[in-house]
Amino acid sequence: MAEATLSTKHQIVVPKEAREALGVKAGDRLMVVTRGATVVLLPKPASHAEALRGLGRGVFEGDHLRKEREGWER
């Protein structure tokens, strides 16, 4: 397991194995997501819309959305 040290300027170096796993290089921007004491680094997507596309696929079963849309037209 790789580790990083926090500098006096509150900076860290992302270990090589983490950079390779994320597929990032110098100059790439990262998103930092915190959940309690857990910190997750993610590559910042060029387009958030593209990154979110398809995440809701399969959430609603059958014709639920069709029925909802019909209700809007009433």
CATH numbers and ranges of domains, the chain: 1-47 (2.10.260.10)
Confidence of residue 18 (pLDDT cuts 50, 70, 90): very high
List pLDDT tens digits, range 42-70: 999 888 888 888 888 878 777 888 888 88
Is pTM beyond 0.75 here? no
**Helical H segments across the chain, by residue range:** 16-22, 48-52, 64-72
Confidence of residue 74 (pLDDT cuts 50, 70, 90): low
